[in-house]
Amino acid sequence: MRTPRGRDPSPRADTRMSAYERALGTFGFYGAALRHLEKRMAFEEVRAYLDASTDDRTKGNWKRVDGSVQDLTRTSRRDAAERAEWLWWNDGIGRHVIDVLTDNTIGTGITTQAKVQYSRGDPQANESANTKIEDLKERWMEQADAFGQLHWYEMQALWLQRVATVGDVLLHTVHLNDPGRVLSLAYEMIEASRLTDYGTSPIKGNEVQQGVELDPDGRVVAYHVEDGTYRMRVRRLEAAQCRLGFRVDRPGQIRGITWMAPIMSGIWTHRDLVEYTMIARKVQAAVAVIVADSPRGGKALGLPGLKRIPGASATTSLSEDPKRPIAPGMMHYVGEGSVTALQPSQNHDFEPLTRNLLRGIGVGFGFSYEWVSGDYQGTSYAGGRLANQEARRRIRPVHTFVCEHLERPVHRDFIDAALAFGKMPKPPTAQDQYAARFSKPHWEWGVNPSQEVSAAVQAVDAGLSTYRDEIESRGGDWQEFLKQVSSEVDFGEAVGLKLYQNLRTAKPDATGGRGLLAVVTTKGGDSHAA
């Protein structure tokens, strides 16, 4: 791999004494010289690991990440997170990639379907009990935020947005005894930037790194958080009451890195390219004429709208006129000599270059060019479908990440609280009480809905897909879907209507119906076939 110009791929601290340190030694201050050298070496050793956190994007040094992962998060995490935060607030592309990730992963919220088995032989009893659990959770989700500002679905989206943007976020469990609450359980979402090493008071023998308190075995026991109500006051929160959400990129990692780190350089380049191109176009559009001085001396001719420099003589060269800000219709003097007329030029490289940059940003974040830019011009049906499939492969593991690190632990807390306050009956086994399924990302029909539907029908008929796969891929519950279809068919018969004429029965009959797709049976046992 070629090393970028001006960069050392593996810088090491300069052990030679500087002129200042040698001067200290010359005058007998050997101890001070050595201490200064030691501090300087320590500073040079913590130069940025990530290009996203360097002070100068074009000249910043970088080094191989061959040390501890804690070195990387300690030296680079905060700077990279702050710059990612700035891009999220101020740049359209930076904001869009995070919003696309959040919208497609969380959508309108990840719902929960309870699967507790109270009775092995009575499915209706199980369904009734699970429905009560789901209703209780829906009411609790309105009160899940300890500050009463967010619905739980909004907290899901905010949790993922903070993890992706700045790298991590802290979820703190609290219990509120306010009247009117269905459960005392609530959550406080804390910005990870408030985790601190300053003013900490860890238990003897433990160590605090980046606000995370570790025991001698390296296990997390507490988090130290700056109190937002009083400056320099630090709260120690037990790890059992907190969950620090972040993506683990290396073993032993205790803090997260912004997910935007690989694409940050591309976003800045795209911003610069657009800005400089717009400046060039403004200059071309604003300048009316460029005037050169005559090589002969003499009195300069006055032009309307231009004032002579105060104190200048009448024979002063017009080239001494100060540069003025670009303005529409201005005349600009460039001095003696020939002049090349400023003609607006067509920049044919701008569009391909920006598309290439956006493709790189999309690849770095796991999305296609279309998802990042929102530009579907010239995209064929096959191309758009392939782009969506590729992006969905990125979304699925992110959805699993949210379910395993946020939704499932929170659901366990909810079940424990509901059992403790007698809001739900205790199941036969302790393991059954946590049984639940979470909704999957909701995909709309594609560019050509008729082809999407036809493909789904053929996949189910051929046994390559199931009701559960097809309906859940669009955000629904297959069992609830079939019940709804059945109830609508019953109601249609009651009012003399034939609904769902193209549905087929599960078994072959006189009509030749076959397959498993859209099986509908009325309460009387009559099946409806196409």
Phi, psi of 118 (to 5 degrees): -85, -30
- Please check whether residue 37 is in contact with residue 14, taking contact to mean a CB–CB distance below 8 angstroms: no
Low-confidence ranges of the chain (pLDDT < 70): 1-16, 40-69, 71-72, 228-232, 287-348, 381, 444-448, 475, 501-530
| CA proximity to 168, closest of 141, 196, 195 | 195
For residue 260, CA distances in Å to 65, 246, 264, 426 come to 18, 13, 6, 45
- Please check whether residue 168 is in contact with residue 220, taking contact to mean a CB–CB distance below 8 angstroms: no
Query: HEC profile for 256-319?
Result: CCCCCHHHHHHHHHHHHHHHHHHHHHHHHHHEEEEEEECCCCCCCCCCCCCCCCCCCCCCCCHH
Give the SS3 label for residue 269.
Answer: helix
Please give the helix or strand (H or E) that residue 448 lies within, else none: none
Beta bridge partners of 242: 172
Give the SS3 label for residue 472.
Answer: helix
Provide the pLDDT for residue 483.
82
Q: Which amino acid, 514?
A: R
Ramachandran class of 419: left when φ > 0, alpha when ψ lies in -120 to 50, beta otherwise: alpha
- Give first-to-last CA distance, the chain, whole Å: 64
Give the pTM: 0.72
> Tokens representing 59?
């000249």
Provide the pLDDT for residue 501.
59
> Tokens representing 146?
């300890």
Provide the pLDDT for residue 324.
52
Provide the pLDDT for residue 200.
79
- Please check whether residue 224 is in contact with residue 208, taking contact to mean a CB–CB distance below 8 angstroms: yes
C-alpha to C-alpha distance for 210 and 220, rounded to whole angstroms: 12
Provide the pLDDT for residue 252.
84
Q: In percent, how much of the chain has pLDDT > 70?
A: 71
